[in-house]
Structure 1
Amino acid sequence: MSRGRTRFTAGLAALPWIAPVLVLIAAIVLFPVGYMLWTSTRNLSAYGQDRGSAGFGNYRTLFRIPELGSVLLHTVIWVAAVVLITLVLSAGLAQFLNKDFPGRTAVRLAVLVPWAASVVMTTTVFYYLLDPDVGLVNRFLVDIGILDRGYGFTKQPTQAFLVAIGVAVFVSIPFVTYTLLAGLQSIPAEITEAGRVDGANSWQRYRHLTLPQLRPAIAVSTIIMIINVFNQLPILQVLTGSIAGFDADTTTTLTFKLIRQNQQIDTAAAMSVLNFVLIVAIIAIYVKVVRPADQVES
């Protein structure tokens, strides 16, 4: 019997066992994606009534939006900044939490707080802390003489966008830190000990021995972060949603503006498809460049 036929027979034998998983994937992944693609080609009223086929008209309308270029740029800056800053800070924090020191358990639990709390609640707390009239941060800065009066950190597009990046980093750090911490604890102590015996300093051991072993953990956390940050509506909506115009918008907030303000549901569907394509392309490029599945050399 040929190898191809053997594999086909083995696949058929396994089908009863994997069928529930395939049905689940079809129900929660394939069907929504297909329905999203189909909706983006329909002519929908402001109330969602299907008025027939629109072909690629919704996409033409989308790409005629003058601010689309700046929105795409904001999205790239938003995702890249949050992911890179979070990775750097989490790597340092994971390295610290991997050491044995008094109160380590309490510190590890404290790191989980931003992850356990609601993202909307956390963002709202930051929003009011930075309020120019009643915010404690502004009050403190005025009291110590740095500011003459309260500053609108969340009232201008650029400042609000930067604050949103900071909040996104804050709520992303716990997950990434614990993912990298798990990766650190899986590295055999003999590897770093061998580097120490060979005369490598702390940075050399981390760069050439620890970091390559962390590549799978970094890849997993990065991919999940890209997906989460790309679609992070709550933070952007709370901090930049009240700002008029498109100066602090990403593709996600633009989608909801098209729905709620412009009542262009069909154009918003086309924007959702573009969002999906961008996420898939970014992750595919990342996986191709980083190659997290490659065997780590000892």
Structure 2
Amino acid sequence: MTASTAVRPQPRADEPPPARPRRRPRRPRRSLADHPLPWIGPAIALIVLVVLWPVYEMVRTSTLRISTSGFVRGDAGLDKYRKLFAEPDLGAVIGWTLVWTLTVVGLTLLLSLGLAQLFHQDFPGRRITRWALIAPWAASVLMTAIGFKWMLDRTAGVLNTALTDLGLTSGPRDWLGDPATARPWMVLVAVFVSLPFTTYTLLAGLQTIPAEVYEAATVDGSGPWQTYRRITLPLLRPALLVALVINLINVFNSFPVIWGMTQGGPDSDTATTTVFAYQLMNTDIGESAAMSVVNFGLIVLLVLVFLKVSRFQEDDAR
């Protein structure tokens, strides 16, 4: 028998077959659609163009000397900030801004909680009342403010005419010319235009609470107030947080209501920091930009403090 025709030894039955060399798995080729950049790129570009670039320009403008016609006259450094903090009305404006923000947001949330709870119930005409609530939201905020301004006008306003005809006042009153009466009316209008969004946000939160939770509370003998305080409010916390943060930002930066009713006057007695910055633009654009930077820092600080306090309260609740 030759070597070429020799019989190869057969493996034993209990012997495992020889292992084949393992091949490295091929990595799937990632297409451009699998990369996150094409998807988040437009959002990043929008943030840069709409948020970051205007903030940069605002800060840069606050360090320049700019004439009222818009021509740059040179570098001002921090002179515009020194001039701003030397303004005699700045302290009163910041104080009124904080009072304005907290009052409007507090009243809006309180009334919206009641309205959301009402609209969550089943009653005849619920759909119509829900649609009616959208009206202040659908209308222009500036037009709403101007409408109230006409109503409160000293000579031809509906309110003065009605009060005089009913004999409740001896004569017409300048409601918006006196800060003592202008501020409450401005708060009323701001709450009026803020109610729709806040109410619908809280209503959406109420509709996410399972009915089984209320049934279990009823079986346990929980009363209406206990159920609302221990079940509804804690489960409504995410919606409340969203409504509160958005209202804080919107009300703090509110411009149409104040400008449409009083233009911040008389002088700057009813002006918030946003309106005050616009008033300063008529005399010094750089100082107005400095006020805008301070205003931006204040709203960021206000939101951060609120979120910090909310986180502490959530940790304590746990």
Q: 1:169 pairs with 155, 170, 191, which one?
A: 191
Q: Does 1:287 align with 2:307?
A: yes
CA contact (8 A) 1:233 1:253 kept: yes
Q: Give the superposition deviation at 1:170.
A: 0.3
Q: Please say if 1:271 is aligned against 2:291.
A: yes
Q: Quote the offset at 1:230 in angstroms.
A: 1.4
CA offsets per residue over residues 71-130 of structure 1, 9 Å max, x none?
A: 000100110010000000010000000000000000000001000011111111111112
Contact preservation (8 Å) 1:192, 1:205 = yes
Structure 1 residue 281, shift from structure 2 partner: 0.4
Aligned counterparts, 1:1-298, within 5 A:
13-241=35-263, 243-260=265-282, 263-291=283-311
Task: Tell me how far 1:197 sits from its aligned partner.
Answer: 1.6
**What's the counterpart of residue 7 of structure 1?**
none
Query: Contact 1:61 / 1:267 at 8 angstroms: preserved in 2?
Result: yes
Query: Where does the alignment leave 5 or more consecutive residues of structure 1 unmatched?
Result: 1-11
Counterpart contact for 2:64–2:72, Cα < 8 Å? yes
- Seq. identity, %: 46
Q: Secondary structure at the match of 1:232?
A: coil
Distance 1:18 1:297 in 2: 36
Q: Deviations over 1:130-172 (max 9, x none)?
A: 2232222222222223212222211212211211111000000
Q: Which moved more, 1:166-175 or 1:25-34?
A: 25-34
TM-score (norm 1): 0.90
Report if the CA contact (8 A) 2:264-2:270 is conserved: no
Q: Deviations over 1:250-273 (max 9, x none)?
A: 11111111112xx20000000000
3-state SS in 2 of match to 1:291 = helix
8 Å CA contact retained: 2:177, 2:266: no
Distance 1:18 1:139, change over 3 A: same
Query: Offset at 1:203?
Result: 1.3
Runs of 5+ in structure 2 lacking a partner? Answer: 1-33
Q: Which has the higher helix share?
A: 1
Cα distance, 1:15 vs structure 2: 3.1
The alpha-carbon deviation at position 20 of structure 1 amounts to 2.4
What is the CA–CA distance in structure 1 between the aligned matches of 2:239 and 2:179, rounded to whole Å? 34
Query: Structure 2 length as normaliser, TM-score?
Result: 0.85
SS of 2:281 mapped into structure 1: helix
Q: Distance in 2 between matches of 1:209 and 1:130?
A: 43
Question: Matched residues in 2 for 1:27 and 1:253: separation?
Answer: 24
Partners of 2:136 and 2:192 within 8 A in 1: yes
